[in-house]
C-alpha cells in the first residue's frame, strides 16, 4: 500500500449535505460546516423532491410557480443558506426532483464531491436513516466516503474537536480501504489514531472438541488477541507520517458493542470503517448489518468508506 499517495488523495474540497429539513439533518449540517471551515471546502446543500407520480393519462408538468412543495423547499433551503453559523463557509443550495439515491449519486459524480454527509434518526425497528432506506444504499454505492451523524451525537459547538479517531477493522480489503482516511483525519486534527479489532468472544474450537479446561480457553483467547494485535500493527507501513503515536486495541466483544463502547470510553471524535460494496441482488438496507448499527448507536460521527 503506497500510503503517501493515498494520504495526498484524501482532500476535502466539496462536501454534499443531503437534508430533509429535520432537526437531525440540521445537526449533520453543523458538522459539515465545521469540517468545511477547517478544510476550506465548499458545501453543496441538497434537497431532493419526490418524483412526480405516474399518471395513466399524460399531463403537462406542474408549473413551478404552482408547485407548493417546491416553493416550500426553496424557502427552507434559503433559510438554511442564511444561517449565521455559516460564517465565511462557501456554500450553495441545490433543489432537484427524482429518486433520491439516483439524484445524489449523479450530483456526487458531476460536482466532484469528496464527502457526503447524512443524518440518522435512529428510530426503533429498522432504524431508518433520515433519507430512508436509500441512505445505506448510498454509503454502499457512493463514489466518495460518507459521514453519518447519529441521534446520540452531540452538537459540534464552535468547531469540530477530534482527540481520537477510531479505525475499526475486520482486516478485510473493504475495511483496509478506509485506513488512509483514518490516518488523514487523525493528522488533520492532530488526533491519536486507534486501530481497533474485536475478537470473537467465544474461541473457535476444533470440530472434535467437546469440552475444554478454562485455562485452555483463556490461553486460546490470549493467542487470538496477540495475533490480532500483530495484524493491527502491520497495517501501517513503515515511514507513514503520523503526528501522534497510534494505539492498538484488540478486545473480546461483539463487533457493534465493542466498537461503540470503545469509542465512548475514549471520547473519540470520529469512527472510521469500511463497508462492503453492494452485490447484485443484495438488499440495500438490512437492519442487522454492522455499519448501520454502529451509526445509530455511536456518540460521534461515523465515516464509512466503500471498499
* 203 — pLDDT class (breaks 50, 70, 90): low
Alpha-carbon distances, residue 277 vs 143, 174, 213 (angstroms): 11, 8, 41
pLDDT higher than threshold 50 for residue 126: no
CATH of residue 228's domain is: 3.40.50.12370
Per-residue pLDDT at 64:
55
Q: Quote the mean pLDDT of the chain.
A: 82
Q: For residue 276, what are the contacts with CB-CB under 8 A and spacing of at least 6? A: 140, 172, 174, 306, 307
Give the separation between CA 117 and CA 153, rounded to whole angstroms.
14
Residue 235 three-state SS:
coil
Number of domains in the chain: 1
Give the separation between CA 146 and CA 46, rounded to whole angstroms.
15
Q: Domain residues for 246?
A: 3-306
pLDDT tens per residue, range 70-79: 999 999 999 9
pLDDT tens per residue, range 233-249: 999 988 898 999 999 99
**Cell for 146?**
460518507
Of 67 and 14, the structure prediction assigns the larger pLDDT to 14
Amino acid at each position: 500500500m503506497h500510503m503517501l499517495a493515498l494520504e495526498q488523495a484524501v482532500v476535502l474540497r466539496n462536501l454534499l449535505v443531503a437534508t430533509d429539513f429535520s432537526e437531525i439533518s440540521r445537526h449533520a449540517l453543523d458538522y459539515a460546516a465545521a469540517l468545511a471551515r477547517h478544510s476550506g471546502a465548499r458545501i453543496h446543500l441538497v434537497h431532493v423532491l419526490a418524483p412526480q407520480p405516474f399518471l395513466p393519462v399524460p399531463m403537462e408538468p406542474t408549473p413551478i410557480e404552482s408547485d407548493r412543495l417546491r416553493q416550500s423547499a426553496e424557502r427552507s433551503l434559503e433559510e438554511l443558506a442564511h444561517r449565521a453559523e455559516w460564517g465565511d463557509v462557501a456554500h450553495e443550495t441545490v433543489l432537484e426532483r427524482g429518486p433520491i439515491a439516483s439524484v445524489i449519486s449523479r450530483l456526487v459524480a458531476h460536482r466532484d464531491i469528496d464527502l457526503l454527509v447524512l443524518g440518522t434518526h435512529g428510530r426503533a425497528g429498522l432504524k431508518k436513516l433520515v433519507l430512508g432506506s436509500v441512505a445505506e444504499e448510498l454509503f454502499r454505492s457512493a463514489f466518495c466516503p460518507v459521514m453519518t451523524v447519529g441521534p446520540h451525537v452531540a452538537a459540534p459547538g464552535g468547531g469540530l474537536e477530534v482527540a481520537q479517531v477510531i479505525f475499526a477493522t475486520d482486516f478485510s480489503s473493504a475495511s483496509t480501504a478506509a485506513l488512509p482516511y483514518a490516518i488523514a483525519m487523525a493528522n488533520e486534527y492532530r488526533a491519536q489514531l486507534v486501530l481497533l479489532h474485536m475478537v470473537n468472544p467465544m474461541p473457535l474450537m476444533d470440530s472434535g472438541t467437546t469440552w475444554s479446561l478454562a485455562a485452555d480457553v483463556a490461553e486460546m483467547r490470549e493467542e487470538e488477541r496477540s495475533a490480532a494485535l500483530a495484524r493491527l500493527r502491520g497495517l501501517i507501513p513503515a515511514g507513514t507520517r503520523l503526528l501522534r503515536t497510534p494505539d492498538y486495541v484488540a478486545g473480546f466483544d461483539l463487533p457493534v458493542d465493542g466498537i461503540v463502547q470503545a469509542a465512548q470510553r475514549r471520547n473519540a471524535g470520529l469512527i472510521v470503517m469500511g463497508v462492503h460494496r453492494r452485490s447484485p441482488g443484495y438488499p440495500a438496507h438490512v437492519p442487522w448489518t454492522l455499519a448501520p448499527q454502529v451509526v445509530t448507536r455511536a456518540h460521534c460521527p461515523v465515516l464509512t468508506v466503500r471498499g
